[in-house]
Structure 1
Amino acid sequence: MTPRRQRWIVIAGVTALALTSNAVIGVSPAYAERPVIDPAQLPPPSPPGPLEPTEQKNACALPSEAVDAQEVPTAQETLDFASVWPITRGAGQLVAVIDTGVTSHPRLAGLTSGGDYVSAGDGLFDCDAHGTMVAGLIAAQTAPGSGFAGGAPDARVLSIRQSSNAFQIVDNRPEEEKAAEPENAAGYGNARTMAMAIRTAVDSGATVINISEVACVPAGGGVADGPLGAAVQYAVRERNVVVVAAAGNVGSAACRTQNPMTDPVRPGTDPWASFGTIATPAWFDDVLTVGSVESDGTPSPFSLAGPWVDVAAPGSNMTSLSSTGNGLANGVLGTDGVLPMSGTSFAAPLVAAVAALVRAHRPELSALEVVDRIQRTAHAPAEGWNPLVGHGVVDPLAAVTDLVTPAPRAVLADSVALSAPLPPPAPDHRPRTAAATGSVLVAVVLALGLALSIPLRRRGPPQ
């Protein structure tokens, strides 16, 4: 996994999104930060529901209907999900889609309700035509005469509506108080409700969680995502759930600033040393963060770079299930025509489908081992990792079947009691003693010789 984040910050932004934009808070260059998880901020278990009274202010989005042809859509053909299906189709996996809700569809037979944090619904209504498209990319079933299907067609979907551009808070506060808490001007949803939705998804038995939503904020500006980080850690580390999230889209009203690319002149530079835009929950270490590529494999121009990006998948001009009727859609109708179904929002569910396939075929792997396997089997860029596509475009067949040596885990050894240090050894005086003794002996011998020679000298020569 790429070098990741270790410093807690505060976030108060929303996660509601449009088809080509994942976040709605402005950015500006600032000093780099790293998040740190505070487990004490994990939201307690509670029934799903909005934190404030809400009401629908905008009309529901109208999907642009697409022809359901025999040809396999480009994204699915590129990743070649069909090559994996003889081995596994994701049966037994429950993928939570934390999004704008998922409308019931004949090709989502395993769809179940996870709750609604936007209104008093059950999560099975998609007014934004977004969550249904995301769910279809994960688990839409195959059908005769149709080339479209989700990557893991036998997986089940748990829908949790967490945001909507059509709803707003019933807000009677003074205008100055409203301005102090930046919310999506177009809709409802924030980092706190996302954290609560993750907790609900985990406690409802999800094995994979897909989050095609992101809040962008300026680095150094302060963003209250403490509960969100705690919820991610709870999912991955405590409950063994794979969490997949979109990297975010640059060019929106919020994510104006693209983060810097890798400097080829200084390949060893820490990618966390400088960036201007934070994307949450994408930047948390335990999240499998997904960037977008075009049909030719090049990074999508809208894909937000960052040191937290892990892998990539196709995300442009997608086709999926329609939130109205029984057919397919390729975007939503806007004032200027069709807004295409493009964004990292739609790259992420393809990777969530890969995670479901791996979990179904290799149930012995932990969530972190699944993430490691997906990264190691991706088609890496020349430099091995870069901030746009991470470790590269995912390969579903390789992720399921390849022999992969797990990355070594850091193990903290138990503390060991140490005995008191030994006293320093006594100084060795033997050389000095030997030298002194030798000197004394020499002096004694000389003295004796001198004493014996005196009588002889006193006698003198004979008379």
Structure 2
Amino acid sequence: MTARGRRLATVAAVAGAVALGPGTAGAVLPPVVDPGRLPPNSAPTAPATELRDPCTATSAVADLAQVPIPQRALDLESVWPLTTGRGQLVAVIDTGVSPHQRLPGLVPGGDYVSTGDGTEDCDAHGTLVAGIVAATRDAATGFAGVAPDARILSIRQSSNLYRETGGARDAEGRNARGVGTIGTLASAVRRAADLGATVINISEVACLPAGSGDGGVLGAAVDYAARVKDAVIVAAAGNLDTEACRASNPPPDPARPHADPWEAVTTVATPAWYDDQVLAVGSVDPGGAASAFTVAGPWVDVAAPGTGIASLDPRRTGPDGVTDSTDGGAVQGTSFAAPYVAGTAALVRARHPHLTARQVMDRIEATAHAPATGWDPYIGHGVVDPMAAVTAETTLTPTGREPRSRAVAAPDAPPPPDHRARDAALIGATAVGALLGIGLLASLPLRRVRQRAGSGTTTG
């Protein structure tokens, strides 16, 4: 299968990919990483592309002073006195991030879509994601990013509005819509890591039929970023309302509560399925239940709010430039749940700089609000809790699919029982019983004598 056949796409409220054919159920093993597939360290290059569609339209929020529901649910106000993510560089690999007054630390990271530097966002998707991660606080609005003092590294890797010039054409003879592949995503991940990103957010998903694999290049890139460069990688789990992800994966079978969830996989979501290297994020609604659109999978680690989203508006770049709708529709999806977790990772890394990327991931999983099952294929270990992730003891470990054990010292042997009081009581009782028995035996002859004396007769 060619890279073009595995094209990624993102839109303003959805992370998705083109369909690659129906999947079939069967045992799918967790992916094996081949470090030899790592893409080279090189500057981004883009194919010849053209913008054929209008850029995504946005609408200003009705009430600027209102704090968005996800922000209130995660209680970010209580975390900011402890950490605001200062010193962290969060890479947003997406549709680009537009310069905005509330992203003062925006760093251009390169462009795989066109001839830019990563700071152009016609789709609006990447700017929304970046705002959730790191928009600075402003007294005029209730919205702010999770880690308002973190900086954003923008790498434009995909777009649904650009088309390759002279590329594949659709039924009406137009160039196929969308730019971005698994190969360019892998290159973008390596570039983000080499540019020093401490956290990498990927709100893009390619859904593939089980057993088809993704070529391994993306696995090598995320492994390099996580293991060699020590970056926390956060990825969206995917949305059912995209064509390729619609097949999803079946829910757990109540009749087989201990079954291996990898056995039921029909659709692989990449890069989310690289479970050892990536924090895969599902979406929850305001009530804390899994959103109807979130893609399930054994790789899902945690969840965050994915509805009721407001973030920075790429079309209105002043301090009050906040939007909650694109092209007339509400902003929602696992694309926007992921940056809440990426922002949390930035908070943790700023507060605990000695922790490795793996320890940060474990901490976020362990402090999430766990479902009753301990782990769930829709929301993983539960809804992320930024305050707990920042303040909890580092010995916490997540519960769920693979319980982790530690050596515990054997308890001291109990002291031998003290029977002295019992023995004394038994001896005393025996002595008293013996004396009573002797007294009883001694009284028997006297009783017989008295009985004879009392029964004698007189004769004359």
Normalising by the smaller structure, the TM-score range is 0.7 to 0.9
| Mapping of residues 304-315 of structure 1, within 5 Å | 304-315=295-306
Structure 2 equivalent of residue 302 of structure 1: 293
Matching of residue 355 in structure 1 with residue 345 in structure 2: yes
User: Structure 2 stretches of 5 or more lacking a match?
Assistant: 398-402, 407-460
| Mapping of residues 85-96 of structure 1, within 5 Å | 85-96=80-91
Q: What is the total number of aligned residue pairs between the two structures?
A: 391
Q: Deviation at 1:406?
A: 5.5
Matching of residue 370 in structure 1 with residue 360 in structure 2: yes
Aligned partner of 1:188: which letter? V
2:229 to 239, 264, 267: 239
Structure 1 equivalent of residue 457 of structure 2: none
Contact 1:91 1:155 in 2 (8 A): yes
CA distance in 2, matches of 1:388, 1:211: 18
Structure 1 equivalent of residue 93 of structure 2: 98
2:48 to 50, 53, 68: 53
Structure 1 equivalent of residue 133 of structure 2: 138
2:384 to 389, 394, 399: 394
Structure 2 equivalent of residue 38 of structure 1: 34
CA distance in 2, matches of 1:67, 1:175: 39
1:204 to 184, 195, 206: 195
Bigger mean CA deviation after superposition, 399-408 or 301-310: 399-408
Structure 2 equivalent of residue 21 of structure 1: 14
Contact 2:13 2:125 in 1 (8 A): no
| Mapping of residues 23-422 of structure 1, within 5 Å | 23-26=16-19, 27-30=21-24, 31-33=26-28, 34-50=30-46, 52-171=47-166, 185-220=176-211, 222-285=212-275, 286-326=277-317, 327-333=321-327, 338-405=328-395
CA distance in 1, matches of 2:283, 2:18: 21
CA distance in 2, matches of 1:45, 1:370: 26
Contact 1:12 1:224 in 2 (8 A): no
Q: Deviation at 1:185?
A: 4.0
Q: Deviation at 1:23?
A: 1.6
Give the root-mean-square deviation of aligned CA atoms.
2.2
Which secondary structure does the structure 2 equivalent of 1:16 belong to? strand
Structure 2 equivalent of residue 423 of structure 1: none
TM-score by length of 2: 0.81
Alpha-carbon displacement from aligned partner over 1:340-386 (angstroms, at most 9, x marks no partner): 10000000000000000000000110000000000000000000001
Aligned partner of 2:76: which letter? F
CA distance in 1, matches of 2:177, 2:347: 36
Aligned partner of 2:6: which letter? G
Which secondary structure does the structure 1 equivalent of 2:152 belong to? strand
Q: Deviation at 1:226?
A: 1.1
TM-score by length of 1: 0.81
Contact 2:3 2:183 in 1 (8 A): no
CA distance in 2, matches of 1:174, 1:11: 13
CA distance in 2, matches of 1:360, 1:409: 26
Q: Deviation at 1:405?
A: 1.1
Q: 1:41 to 1:67 in 2, by over 3 A?
A: same
Q: 1:11 to 1:244 in 2, by over 3 A?
A: farther
Alpha-carbon displacement from aligned partner over 1:404-428 (angstroms, at most 9, x marks no partner): 31659999xxxxxxxxxxxxxxxxx
Contact 1:99 1:162 in 2 (8 A): yes
Q: Deviation at 1:225?
A: 3.8
CA distance in 2, matches of 1:149, 1:41: 39
CA distance in 2, matches of 1:383, 1:105: 42
Alpha-carbon displacement from aligned partner over 1:277-328 (angstroms, at most 9, x marks no partner): 1110010021000000001101100000000000000001310000111211
Q: Deviation at 1:20?
A: 3.8
CA distance in 2, matches of 1:11, 1:368: 32
Which secondary structure does the structure 1 equivalent of 2:179 belong to? coil
Alpha-carbon displacement from aligned partner over 1:132-183 (angstroms, at most 9, x marks no partner): 000000000000131100000000000000001111112357999xxxxxxx
Q: Deviation at 1:56?
A: 1.5
Q: 1:32 to 1:188 in 2, by over 3 A?
A: farther
CA distance in 1, matches of 2:325, 2:177: 19
Which secondary structure does the structure 2 equivalent of 1:22 belong to? strand
Contact 2:13 2:326 in 1 (8 A): no
Q: 1:124 to 1:283 in 2, by over 3 A?
A: same
Bigger mean CA deviation after superposition, 68-77 or 148-157: 68-77
CA distance in 1, matches of 2:380, 2:22: 23
Q: Deviation at 1:64?
A: 2.1
Which secondary structure does the structure 1 equivalent of 2:6 belong to? coil
State the identity as a percent.
54
Which secondary structure does the structure 2 equivalent of 1:159 belong to? strand
CA distance in 1, matches of 2:176, 2:191: 26
Bigger mean CA deviation after superposition, 113-122 or 33-42: 33-42
Q: 1:172 to 1:258 in 2, by over 3 A?
A: closer
Q: 1:94 to 1:409 in 2, by over 3 A?
A: farther
Bigger mean CA deviation after superposition, 109-118 or 251-260: 251-260
Q: Deviation at 1:253?
A: 1.6
CA distance in 1, matches of 2:149, 2:170: 49
Q: Deviation at 1:62?
A: 1.0
Q: Deviation at 1:10?
A: 9.1
CA distance in 2, matches of 1:237, 1:247: 21
Q: Deviation at 1:12?
A: 4.2
CA distance in 2, matches of 1:218, 1:404: 38
